[in-house]
Structure 1
Amino acid sequence: MKKIETFENKKVLVLGLAKSGEAAARLLEKLGAIVTVNDSKPFDENPAAQSLLEEGIKVICGSHPLELLDENFELMVKNPGIRYDNPMVARAIEKNIPVITEVELAYMISDAPIIGITGSNGKTTTTTMIAETLNNGGQSGLLSGNIGFPASEVAQTATDKDTLVMELSSFQLMGTDIFHPHIAVITNLMPTHIDYHGTFEDYVAAKWNIQKNMTAEDFVVLNFNQDLAKELAQKTAAQVVPFSTTEKVAGAYLDGDTLYFKDEAIMKASEIGVPGSHNVENALATIAIAKLSGIANEAIKETLSHFGGVKHRLQALGEVNGIKFYNDSKSTNILATQKALSGFDNSKVILIAGGLDRGNEFDELVPDITGVKLMVILGESAPRVKRAADKANVPYVDAKDVADAARIAYGKAEAGDVVLLSPANASWDMYKSFEVRGDEFIATFEAIKGE
């Protein structure tokens, strides 16, 4: 960890806790800052705030009082989920207080080079694939960032022998100024989080921040399946390394059933340990970064062949009586479910879908669910999902929750079938998070297996 003096005796406000806020507060205190933490959750229900107070850090909980910003703060470190139109953030900007996210802090102190991964879908899988490939190839890849390990915490113990493999959301990237990864990948760009960003153009601009400080000595890996990526490739100082499943490019590409890097065959697409065309794209991005990092082909092939997926992202749970179960609870939008379905024979799939009603119809899903054996539908959005099922001529049944849906699906399935939880919806109508939803599916599978 670099011993920087940037924050010594400077008043810093950490807005919002969760894992990243807690890590940022502790790091700033260690760097000599005068730290105040402000979180909306009441103190009595806030173990993180209680812990920080015990360590001597000032905490203000239960609300976001605007008058707090009259205390001459020189910096605000914002939780990524807090929007820029939040009154506290807006007032800070009015007062010319810089607003950053904790990944900027991580960069400032890190002795380790950074590989940054962002995109609309596939971030977590690709981040995990890259870290595992580096580790299997004799290097040290440390998972960090939006994947559940606060970057500013991981960076404190990383050395120049490590590499921070950092998943980055658009929210985090908006709060960067000097952040500078050596290699960056954008898996894909789709219209999502528009409620936060306002327009797709602003969302893309936030993602594109990942490369804004890159030079000709750095690399940006882009998905040339998308024309947008080809346009962006013209607007960076970094060396562009493309990947594609549809054309031969000067990077990683699919030709027939073989994955190549610059005309060098690496492995068969059919050998990738997780199904789906989207995972071929994720594997190509991983291959590009692995080759740029000097990883041997054998280590790349071995890692990707044995890759078992990420929890809640098309996670293979196993099988009971010849019926396979896949947990794809992290599919909280239509595109993610489309990608999940691409890896299976629809005639063998019993799809569990539905969740939070965001007011959108599911017509885009109709071609992808056509031919599905059965849908088990649940949640607030059930009427809308059923309309799509009707248009696709797919039979469906209702379920009251995920556990009920898993049991119904198992009861209707035959040997050779797949029970796939891929909701195409957020979880918040019934569950605190997609993780809780997925954990219920896993627990039900384990119960069925033990009966």
Structure 2
Amino acid sequence: MKNPDQFSGMKVLVLGLAKSGFAAANMLHEAGAEIVVNDASPEEGNQEAHLLKEKGIEVICGGHPPEILEFGFDLVVKNPGIPYSNIVIEKAIQKGIPVWTEVELAYRISEAPVIAVTGSNGKTTTTTLLFHILNIGGKKPLIAGNIGTVATSVAQEAHSDQLIVMEVSSFQLAGTEMFKPHIAIWTNLYDAHLDYHGSPEAYAQAKANITKNQTAEDYLIYNADQPELLEHRKDSHATMVPFSLSGRTESGISADEQFIYWKGEPYAERAMIKLPGRHNLENILAATAAAILMDCDKETVEDVLSSFTGVRHRMQFVKEIKGRKFYNDSKATNTLATKSALSSFELPTILIAGGLDRGHSFEELRPHMTHVKSVIAVGETAERFNEFASSCGISQITAAGTMDDAIQQAYGQSEPGDVILLSPACASWDQYKNFEQRGDAFIEAVMKL
């Protein structure tokens, strides 16, 4: 761990537990900081709170009292999900107390260089793909961040001859100060999380924090096909590495219908790529560029591109049964994600969609429904989604009460050469605990065939 004494003697408020707060509290306690932890959940049943108390750490549960700042803290480390409208956060900022998320802690203690990945979509696929390339290439990578492994915990164990590939969200990036990845990847920029950030500009600025401290010795890999993103990379001092699907370019990495190009020269044939979809090609270009910058050999990159079939629940190829290909895209909890999924295929597609009814429109999907031969709708939005499908001219429309029923119907309606795609365009909470549980139900139902 780098500079273990940098937090010694500091008074730190850890606001919010869950995995990130628990890891931050433990790390700071071991580094000699005086810690107070404040979690909104009741103490009863709060396992993390009890474990921290056993170490002698003061834990205050059951709400976020504004008077807690009277302890005279030098630093607040907040859970990324706690908004800046929280009264304790507002008062801390007014008092001039730094407010970080734990990725800032991770950066400050990591001996290993960081490759950070952000974007409105594609973060997890890009992070996972890059990790696989680096791993096979012998670069000893670690994976961390929003992908599920707490960055602070990973950084504590990292050594200087390793790399940390870190997926970072806008929530996490908003709470950074010195965070400076050696390679930053910004996949795309669409309006999202406006209820948290308050405006598109604030959301974009949080994303732009991924490159704000970079210098010319660092790299920013960014989507050159998005004018919105181009505006926000202008303030970066990093060496620019654009990626583009608009054909062969002389700078960065690009692709046309036949090749991937590195600095204008053919690098790999697109035909070898296993992962479908234009949006996934963007992720592939970004990950490949980072791998090249980290001196991974071409053979390693091609080996992974020809075998990588996606991240679980994100356009995940599940199985081919008698000529029907099944894809699990349960992570598609909005129309933007389902639009990307539908645009990935030109084959006849049977779409399983629907879920929690938030009242949002499906109109954004209309141009991409042309090769959908039938729709099986599930969940609260089943009736609305089927009405939309009917208005798109799709005649084969049914509803299913369970995922098993949906798969049986889809298989019965399909022919060899068809794609059967779960891409719900809705959240899962009407029927499932989360999108992972919904995707697992899809996989289980496919395997029963």
TM-score category of the 2 structures, normalised to the smaller one: over 0.9
CA distance in 2, matches of 1:403, 1:198: 40
Deviation at 1:357, TM superposition (A): 2.5
CA distance in 2, matches of 1:403, 1:21: 38
Q: Distance in 2 between matches of 1:290 and 1:253?
A: 15
**1:179 offset after TM fit, Å?**
0.4
TM-score normalised by length of structure 1: 0.95
Rounded to whole Å, the distance in 2 between the matches of 1:9 and 1:383 is 60
Aligned to 1:143: 143
How much does 1:50 deviate? 2.4
Asked if 1 retains the 8 angstrom alpha-carbon contact of 2:204 and 2:232, the reply is no
CA–CA separation in structure 1 for the residues paired with 2:393 and 2:244: 33
Q: Which range is displaced more, 352-361 or 228-237?
A: 228-237
1:34-433 alignment runs, 5 A limit: 34-249=34-249, 250-347=251-348, 349-394=349-394, 395-433=396-434
Q: For the Cα contact (< 8 Å) 1:37–1:59, is it kept in 2?
A: yes
Answer yes or no: is the 8 Å Cα contact 2:428–2:434 preserved in 1. yes
- Matches of 1:257 and 1:137, distance apart in 2: 25
Query: Which digits, 9 at most, give the CA deviation of each residue in 1:277-317, with x for residues without a partner?
Result: 11111111111111111111111111111112111111111
Deviation at 1:89, TM superposition (A): 1.9
In structure 1, distance between residues paired with 2:208 and 2:148? 22
Quote the offset at 1:383 in angstroms: 4.2
Output the CA distance in 2 between the equivalents of 1:92 and 1:377. 47
For the 8 Å contact 1:194–1:203, the answer to whether it is kept is yes
Structure 2 counterpart of 1:253, one-letter code: S
Q: CA deviation at 1:413?
A: 2.5
For 1:257 and 1:391, how far apart are their aligned partners in 2? 36
Distance in 1 (CA, whole Å) between partners of 2:347 and 2:356 is: 24
Residue type at the aligned position of 1:179: F
Distance 2:223 2:130 in 1: 16
Q: Deviations over 1:63-100 (max 9, x none)?
A: 22333222222211111111111223223223332211
- Find out whether 1:10 has 2:46 as its counterpart: no
SS at match of 1:43: coil
Bigger shift: 151-160 or 379-388? 379-388
Structure 2 counterpart of 1:33: 33
Alignment partners' CA distance in 2, 1:363 and 1:330: 19
Q: Is contact 1:269-1:280 (8 Å) kept?
A: no
Aligned-pair CA distance for 1:229: 2.9
Does structure 2 conserve the Cα–Cα contact (< 8 Å) formed by 1:361 and 1:384?
A: no
Contact kept? 2:143, 2:166, Cα under 8 Å: yes
**SS, match of residue 240 in structure 1:** strand
In structure 1, what residue type is equivalent to 2:5?
E
Distance 1:41 1:432, change over 3 A: farther
String of CA shifts for 1:377-409, please: whole Å, max 9, x gaps.
122333443343122112321222434433332
> In structure 2, what residue type is equivalent to 1:235?
D
Hey, what does 2:442 align to over in structure 1? 441
**SS at 1:13 equivalent:** strand
**Retained in 2: the 8 A contact 1:356–1:429?**
yes
Moved more, 114-123 or 350-359: 350-359
Does the 8 Å CA contact 2:347/2:417 hold for their aligned counterparts? no
* Contact persistence 2:347–2:418 (CA under 8 A): no
Say if 1:261 and 1:287, in contact at 8 Å, map to a contact too.
no
Q: Secondary structure at the match of 2:38?
A: strand
Hey, what's the Cα distance between the residues in 1 that align with 2:418 and 2:46?
Answer: 45
Unpaired runs of 5+ in structure 1?
none
Q: Aligned to 1:210, what secondary structure does the other structure show?
A: coil
Structure-2 change in CA distance of 1:231 and 1:63 (3 Å): closer
Unaligned runs of 5+ in 2: none
What is the CA–CA distance in structure 2 between the aligned matches of 1:76 and 1:381, rounded to whole Å? 41
Give the distance between the partners of 1:264 and 1:21, measured in 2 at CA.
Answer: 46
Say if 2:212 and 2:235, in contact at 8 Å, map to a contact too.
no
Q: In the TM superposition, what whole-angstrom CA distance separates every residue of 1:199-233 from its partner, at most 9, and x where no partner exists?
A: 21211111001000011111101111112233334
Q: What whole-Å deviation, never above 9, does each CA across 1:116-169 have from its counterpart, x for those lacking one?
A: 100011100000111111111121121110000111110011111111100010
Matched residue count: 447
Is the 8 Å Cα contact of residues 205 and 232 (structure 2) preserved in structure 1?
no
Provide the C-alpha distance between the structure 2 equivalents of 1:23 and 1:193, rounded to a whole number of angstroms: 25
Cα distance, 1:61 vs structure 2: 2.3
Can you list the C-alpha shifts for 1:225-246, whole angstroms capped at 9, x where unaligned? 1122333343211111001011
Q: Shift in Å at residue 266 of structure 1?
A: 2.2
Query: What is the CA–CA distance in structure 2 between the aligned matches of 1:403 and 1:88, rounded to whole Å?
Result: 47
Mapped partners of 2:50, 2:389: distance in 1: 49
Q: Is the contact made by 2:347 and 2:419 (CA closer than 8 Å) also made in structure 1?
A: no
Aligned equivalents of 1:381, 1:98: Cα separation in 2: 44
The whole-number CA distance in structure 1 between the counterparts of 2:50 and 2:320 is: 44
Render the CA deviation track for 1:331-385: whole Å, top value 9, x for unaligned.
11212111111222352x1111112233321111111122301111122333443
Mapped partners of 1:297, 1:271: distance in 2: 13
State the alpha-carbon separation in 1 of the partners of residues 347 and 257 from structure 2: 22
